[in-house]
Amino acid sequence: MSFIEEFKKFAFKGNVIDLSVGVIMGSAFGKMVTAVVEDLFMPMVHPLLAKADQHWSSIVIGPGIKIGHFAAALLNFFVISLVVFILAKLLYGLKESEEAADVDGSTEKLLREIRDALKK
């Protein structure tokens, strides 16, 4: 098998494509959460972190340690973690309910088949 054929086989596997879509969606989601944190949450926190004439992201403690930028990154992490946790919980709940429905449906089908066989 040539190098190009091996690469095609690798690149077009379903898992690779699914992973690529997940990374792209995750990147877009991360940018969205960053915008929410920087444009919605941090302006509310701004009065607590900075003087009236200073933006929160420009707050430094010591030589070049940007505490405001770190606070935004920390808040981004917690918001993203919370949303991913909630989505995973919802998706696993849906998956379990579908599996339960499939099990119930297949059991009922088997019981009907047994009943019909016994009637014969």
113 in a structural domain:
no
103 in a structural domain:
no
Closest of 75, 84, 13 to residue 44, by C-alpha = 75
Amino acid type, 119: K
18 in a structural domain:
yes
**Average pLDDT value for residue range 99-111:** 69
63 in a structural domain:
yes
Q: Give pLDDT tens digits for 6-36.
A: 888 877 776 777 788 888 888 888 888 778 7
Domain housing 23: 3-85
Counting the structural domains of the chain, the total is: 1
Mean residue pLDDT of the chain comes to 77
φ, ψ at 108 (rounded to 5°): -65, -40
CATH number for position 26: 1.10.1200.120
115 in a structural domain:
no
For position 102, what pLDDT does the model report?
60
44 in a structural domain:
yes
Residues in the chain: 120
For position 93, what pLDDT does the model report?
81
